[in-house]
Structure 1
Amino acid sequence: MEGFAEEGQVDNMFEEMLDMFMSKNMLYDPMKELNQEYPKYLAANKDKLSKDEYRRYENQYRCVQEILAHFDQTPSGSDEDSSKSDKQVKKLMEKMQSYGQPPEDLIKILAPDLELGPDGVPKFPDLDQCNQM
């Protein structure tokens, strides 16, 4: 990051990356899959989960539904429309995240090769083991 002349350039790069990850192209299919899997998970685990966990997962499921509804109702259009849509998606994703991590079983469906640590946070490869250019 030292190669960037100004801190603002780094901020802009991260903002652009975040926007890309919040786009319909990136989120729609995983959200659609979550929308299909959440009801099955909730039904299968209702008696296994505490009331608080079950309520959290229900709230996450509602957020998934809101995100999909937003994508389905938002026409593709101008940059201004896209910017408003991105802000709404970010707000909905933050709301979903406020309920914590989705159930590990659902994460495994979406990302079967992803390894989670005991705290539920994804494990990343040891950067010392990565090949350097």
Structure 2
Amino acid sequence: MESIVETVMQKLFSEEILHGPMKEIEERYPQWLDEHKTSLSKEEHERYSLQYELIKELNGVYENDPRNFTWIVDLMQKMQECGQPPNDILQDLAPEFGLWNLD
């Protein structure tokens, strides 16, 4: 059973599925952080900045070592600890889903 779960997770976190959306989020994050700098609390800004750094690191893994599943899972867990990326960014990526207002 454990190997089935690991196989499913490897597929979900694969470069083919996640790298494109993560790359788009990475590209949008700097402008979003700059635009919202004054409206975010210090804690929120730090959390989103950390999440942005983790996304950049994840994209680096996808580009340089995409088979390093352990590193990818570790980064995904750290990103999840930061919470959901900003709704504005997610909505821009897939507005048709309308699932982004989950706060």
Relative to the length of structure 1, the TM-score reads 0.70
Supply the distance in 2 between the matched residues of 1:65 and 1:74 (Cα, whole angstroms): 14
Q: Normalized against structure 2, the TM-score is what? A: 0.88
Name structure 2 gaps, 5 residues minimum.
Answer: none
Letter in 1 for 2:71: Q
Aligned partner of 2:99: which letter? L
Residue 28 (structure 2) pairs with residue 43 (structure 1): no
Tell which structure's C-alpha radius of gyration is larger: 1
1:102 lines up with 2:93 in the alignment: no
Range 110-119 or range 33-42, more displaced: 110-119
Counterpart in the other structure of 1:15? 6
Percent identity, aligned pairs only, is 34
What RMSD in Å do the two structures reach over aligned CA positions? 1.8
Alignment partners' CA distance in 2, 1:95 and 1:101:
11
State the AA in 2 paired with 1:103.
P
Structure 2: which amino acid aligns with 1:58?
A: S
Q: Specify which structure has the bigger relative contact order, considering alpha-carbon pairs within 8 angstroms and separated by 6 or more residues.
A: 2
* Superimposed CA distance per residue, residues 10-63 of structure 1 (whole angstroms, 9 cap, x where no aligned partner): x54433221111111111111110111000100000001111111110000000
Runs of 4+ in 1 over 4 A off after TM superposition: none
Shift of 1:108: 0.6
Structure 1 residue ranges without an equivalent (≥5): 1-7, 76-81, 121-133
Say whether 1:89 aligns with 2:72.
Answer: yes
Q: Number of aligned pairs?
A: 103
Task: Select the structure that is richer in helix.
Answer: 2
